[in-house]
């Protein structure tokens, strides 16, 4: 089933779609943290080091603008999740390390100090995540925050775009510690389902992960990789991809060859942005708010 974000939220039965549309009163945000829940922000596909003026003439400024916009959010999110491709790939390991170090330093400008990272294939696909681990730590992990169990899966350090049996066993063991009705959020870089395999928009053994997740009744996946919003369901599991922060990519199979969407000087930064996720206590779904690079609600 293909549904857009608005349809998805309508189907989920949440009147807070108006919140997503950007028409909510600022006071509404007062409910979004503290006792009633919390916010986190998803930033993705920043591709630090990418250089092509025809695609993004502000390649060194876009990330900084987005960080300034996140810093202006009120209230502030509890944490930031970067869902991979922090850097644009390079065949030079020294340059890879330099780009990741620069990215870490720039991300340090966020007011929120709880920053969670995971790699994309551009960060980790050439060295099985060696440099990423040196600078950012583990490529897979889980943590709990205010009643939600978060799982970060690595489906990029293996260049075939697989999770691997060993990590699947780890996932299985991690899940078994949770009640079947627990609120579970999974972060991945690649989609776990076959969104567009011919465009490399899938995870080869993603179905195995989804099979493991299926017995848990409240699972939501947030991912990156495709540089655009996409909202799907597989069974009862919902999947939300995020906009990128360097260049947009075309809709799946909408063009013969997958290529970055050229810069539109009439609409600069079009297609780029980040997302705020509102996790309310006692609610199964999440309210998503999409922002442009400069913090404008979309």
Nearer to another protein, 49 or 292 (CB): 49
Nearer to another protein, 5 or 98 (CB): 98
* DSSP annotation of 263: P
Position 93 contacts another protein (CB under 8 A): no
* CB-CB neighbours of 5 under 10 Å: 17
Q: Are 263 and 248 in contact (CB under 8 A)?
A: no
HEC readout, 215-230: CCCCEEEEECCCCCCE
Shortest reach from residue 242's CB to another protein, in Å: 20
Shortest reach from residue 50's CB to another protein, in Å: 10
Residue 128: both structure tokens together: 């099985």
Maximum Cα–Cα distance across the chain: 51
Q: Which helix (H) or strand (E) holds 143?
A: strand 141-145
Position 235 contacts another protein (CB under 8 A): no
- Which among 84-92, 107-115, 144-152, 225-233 is the span making contact with another protein, rule CB under 8 A? 84-92
What order of strands is seen across the sheet that includes strand 287-291? 115-118, 79-83, 37-43, 274-280, 287-291
* DSSP annotation of 289: E
Nearer to another protein, 142 or 167 (CB): 167
* 3-state SS assignment for residue 153: coil
Spell out, one character per residue from 118 to 137, where the chain touches another protein: x when CB under 8 A holds, - when not: ---x---xx-----------
Shortest reach from residue 271's CB to another protein, in Å: 18
Position 161 contacts another protein (CB under 8 A): yes
Nearer to another protein, 90 or 178 (CB): 90
- Taking CB under 8 A as the criterion, the residue among 43, 86, 148, 156 binding another protein is 156
């Amino acid at each position: 089933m293909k549904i857009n974000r608005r349809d998805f939220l309508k189907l989920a039965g949440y009147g807070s779609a108006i919140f997503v549309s950007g028409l909510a009163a600022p006071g509404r945000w007062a409910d979004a943290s503290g006792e009633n829940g919390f916010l986190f922000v998803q930033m993705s596909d920043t591709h630090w080091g990418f250089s092509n003026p025809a695609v993004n003439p502000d390649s060194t400024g876009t990330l900084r603008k987005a960080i300034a916009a996140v810093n202006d959010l009120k209230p502030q999110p509890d944490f930031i999740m970067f869902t991979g491709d922090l850097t644009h790939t390079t065949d030079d390991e020294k340059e890879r390390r330099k780009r990741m170090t620069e990215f870490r330093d720039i991300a340090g400008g966020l007011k929120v100090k709880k920053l969670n990272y995971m790699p994309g294939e551009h960060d980790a696909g050439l060295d099985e995540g060696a440099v990423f681990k040196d600078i950012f730590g583990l490529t897979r992990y889980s943590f709990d925050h205010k009643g939600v169990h978060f799982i970060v899966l690595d489906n990029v350090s293996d260049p075939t775009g697989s999770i691997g049996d060993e990590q699947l066993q780890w996932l299985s063991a991690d899940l078994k510690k949770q009640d079947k009705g627990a609120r579970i959020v999974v972060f991945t870089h690649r989609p776990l389902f076959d969104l567009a395999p011919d465009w490399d928009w899938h995870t080869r053994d993603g179905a195995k992960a989804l099979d493991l997740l299926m017995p848990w009744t409240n699972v939501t996946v947030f991912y990156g990789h495709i540089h655009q919003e996409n909202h799907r369901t597989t069974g009862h599991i919902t999947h939300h991809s995020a906009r990128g922060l360097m260049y947009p990519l075309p809709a799946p199979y909408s063009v013969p060859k997958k290529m970055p969407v050229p810069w539109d000087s009439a609409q600069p930064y079009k297609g780029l942005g980040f997302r705020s996720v509102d996790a309310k206590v006692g609610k199964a779904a999440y309210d998503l708010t999409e922002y442009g690079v400069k913090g404008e609600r979309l």
